[in-house]
Amino acid sequence: MATKVVERKPLSMSEKTYLPQIYNGLKTTFNNMLKPPVTLEYPDQRPDIPNGYRGVPTLVKDPNGREKCVSCQLCEFVCPPKAIRIKPGEISEESNNGHVEKAPQEFDINMLRCIYCGLCQEVCPEEAIYLQDIYSLNGLSREELIFKKQKLYEIGGTLPDEHYKWDKKLDDARNGTGHH
């Protein structure tokens, strides 16, 4: 196998002194000194979050304070890194959500595994899981970053329900017109 030798162009006298490179570096520095700063003083100043930002997944309640999650486990099955774990639980007939078959007994999201892909929000038929615009998470241990059901509801809060699906189902259950 023949080796090909590539000859370098010899450096000029100014290139040997590095003066053009120093000049270009100083020029860049002085140009940036005259511009307004772009650095934010975090956490006092926060960046503007664009619409559609995919942040921390949380659980949300309907405007009446009821759990929207029905433990269908679609979010658990679709999660690529398997960050979501759900243990379904039964609901008593007398409860506020008695017309719903199941509710999560346990619902955990491991934020160390979550890749913020948004598939859980897209697949949820009840619109119970929602990606908030929170981008800063921290904890002192791994256990702190496994968000349990209570913490997920605290972060998620209540969102308006555009479909009023729960109220319609509850009315049907009370009137005996529900589909079985």
- Could you give the C-alpha distances from 170 to 64, 102, 174, in angstroms and in order? 12, 14, 6
59's tokens: 């659980």
- State what percent of residues in the chain have pLDDT above 90: 42
Average pLDDT in the 26-44 region? 89
Distance CA 106, CA 44 (A): 36
CATH code, 135: 3.30.70.3270
Residue 64 covered by a domain: yes
Residue 13 covered by a domain: no
Residue 23 covered by a domain: no
Phi, psi of 43 (to 5 degrees): -95, 0
User: pTM of the full predicted structure?
Assistant: 0.68
Distance CA 67, CA 99 (A): 12
Residue 15 covered by a domain: no
Intra-chain end-to-end CA distance of the chain, in Å: 79
Residue 10 covered by a domain: no
Residue-averaged pLDDT of the chain:
85
Residue 178 covered by a domain: no
DSSP reduced 3-state for 57: strand
Residue 172 covered by a domain: no
Domain that holds residue 101: 59-160
Domain total for the chain? 1
Higher local confidence (pLDDT), 75 or 89: 75
Residues 13, 16, 17, 23: what is their CA dihedral angle, to the nearest 10 degrees? 90
* Res 15: pLDDT: 82
pLDDT band (50, 70, 90) for residue 173: low
Angle (nearest 5°) at CA 121 between 115 and 123:
110
* Res 96: pLDDT: 62
pLDDT of residue 110 exceeding 90, the answer is yes
DSSP reduced 3-state for 16: helix
- State what percent of residues in the chain have pLDDT above 70: 84
pLDDT band (50, 70, 90) for residue 179: low
